Structure 1
């Protein structure tokens, strides 16, 4: 089969339309006693069921009610705490990262002052934040690996 045969087969498959011999779906579902879909009519069977539900004094809930306890027992799982976050927080406050922390805090004060005075800031503290985050990660990494081993 050559390339042109492939293209002509694809053209034939796309250009032919399916036959209109397919049967139309029945409206109203499989039951012939129920009303046509999209109407507000109730069949006689539905009316009887609705009346019996109303006279039973149901609490408005539908479906199967389990026997026994009303609430199923849930197993309480302890969420695992990521030790990396705690270690990085400790490292951020440590002496090792005091210089980047100091620069970041000063920058935050400057930017906050600019926003209060001018309504907008002339700078941001992204660079200082990344220096602090890098220092905290470098400090926490050996401690984290020691815990994981």
Structure 2
């Protein structure tokens, strides 16, 4: 499998929205929590209040991991500014579509910021059409893929 196919396979598995577990760390203290993600154009976004503990962790140490079922992504958290900024209108529309209750409650707060998780390494656990398990190891920077069978 080529890099582009593996990368696409990963994002096809995620779909357009997911509740994902986000792990972050500051001063060797690791925390994990669920975040409501929007997956758009093979990119992962979520919003958070700029005063939350996780946000402090992300801003001081942007190295994160995020996962849902068999897809785990190690990457860098990038702050795109306020959710209400003009450049982030795409996110507002998608968040309203997929997470309406949360959007209605919080999306317009002046403390809500948009975070993107930029993948560096992706691990996908999956099965082929014959139910044979395999693991895709995707190095995004090197644009390389390794497939490991695990059955």
TM-score, normalization by structure 1 = 0.24
Between Structure 1 and Structure 2, the one with more strand by share is 2
Rg (Cα) greater in structure: 1
Q: Which structure carries more relative contact order (alpha carbon 8 Å, separation 6+)?
A: 2
